[in-house]
């Protein structure tokens, strides 16, 4: 019997650059009524993810930054940040490659420039950013760094393959075709879900995990029942137990009705 549903947000619950369907909202409500814990597990910053949890009526802890932060209300349950030295190396790499970088420190998003990349990113995710030179940011609590290239996603694919060898002490993952994320080795969706499973005494076999992108490979591996969205990457589909419909056709709802409701 499923006791925990750990779900990605964008491309899974939420239509890209769009909204939740009423079906998703009703489905989440039904899960909560049945006593099944629903946890959002996202690469988004906590400030943005917590608003989505509120919109869905969830009171469970929120997992943000790919698993680098778990908060229940104002209480921090789990947090893994980058060191100042690690952050400096990534910033230097981004400058050499001339690729845009978002820096998240203590749940504040910083950008060095008012550029297309950060403006599009914030418009799509309904969030705010602060313009500041990274050398002037107090980098003692860096949640993650995010490289963005909307014009050449092939470059993101290339970096995803190459950079883990250059930065073996980091967790590096592609979260959309345009985003490459850098975080602490223990800031993965797998680590976060495993933490909550232990906290609540829930077994892996009692956990359903569902997502759509390569960063959800870690999420799916934490579940006894692994579901890939119909719009998922081929890599994610290859490790899934089942493939549901797309986010545009309420794939999340169909999977939950099949296995939980």
Mean pLDDT of 19-32: 95
pLDDT one-digit tens code per residue, 49-91: 999 999 999 999 999 999 999 999 999 999 999 999 999 999 9
13-24 pLDDT per residue, tens: 999 877 899 999
Domain residue ranges in the chain: 4-79+187-259, 84-184
| pLDDT band (50, 70, 90) for residue 7 | very high
CA distance linking residue 230 with residue 43, whole number of Å: 20
Supply the pLDDT for residue 142. 98
Helix axes 153-166, 84-97, angle to 10 degrees: 140
Q: Which CATH number fits domain 84-184: 1.10.260.40, 3.30.450.40, 3.40.190.10, 3.30.1240.10?
A: 3.30.1240.10
Phi, psi for residue 196 in degrees, rounded to 5: -70, -35
Looking at domain 4-79+187-259, which of 3.40.720.10, 3.40.50.300, 3.40.50.2300, 3.40.50.1000 is its CATH number? 3.40.50.1000
Considering the entire predicted model, what is its pTM?
Answer: 0.93
């Amino acid at each position: 019997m499923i006791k925990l549903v750990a779900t990605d947000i964008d491309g899974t619950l939420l239509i890209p650059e769009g909204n939740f369907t009423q079906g998703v909202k009703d489905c989440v409500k039904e899960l909560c009524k049945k006593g099944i814990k629903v946890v959002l597990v996202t690469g988004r910053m906590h400030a943005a993810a917590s608003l989505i949890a509120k919109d869905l009526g969830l009171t469970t802890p929120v997992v943000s930054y790919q698993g680098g932060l778990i908060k229940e209300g104002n209480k921090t349950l789990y947090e893994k940040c980058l060191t100042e030295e690690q952050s400096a190396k990534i910033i230097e790499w981004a400058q050499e490659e001339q690729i845009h970088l978002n820096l998240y420190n203590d749940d504040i998003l910083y950008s060095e420039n008012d550029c297309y990349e950060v403006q599009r990113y914030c418009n799509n995710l309904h969030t705010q950013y602060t313009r500041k030179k990274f050398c002037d940011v107090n980098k003692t609590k860096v949640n993650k760094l995010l490289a963005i290239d909307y014009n050449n996603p092939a470059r993101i694919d290339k970096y995803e393959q190459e950079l883990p060898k250059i930065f073996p002490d980091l967790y590096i993952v592609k979260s959309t075709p345009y985003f490459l994320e850098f975080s602490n080795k223990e800031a993965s969706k797998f680590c976060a879900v495993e933490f909550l499973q232990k906290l609540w005494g829930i077994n892996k076999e009692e956990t359903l995990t569902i997502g759509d992108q390569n960063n959800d490979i870690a999420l799916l591996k934490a579940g006894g029942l692994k579901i890939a969205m119909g719009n998922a990457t081929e890599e994610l589909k290859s490790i899934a137990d089942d493939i549901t419909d797309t986010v545009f056709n309420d794939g999340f709802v169909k999977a939950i009705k099949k296995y939980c409701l």
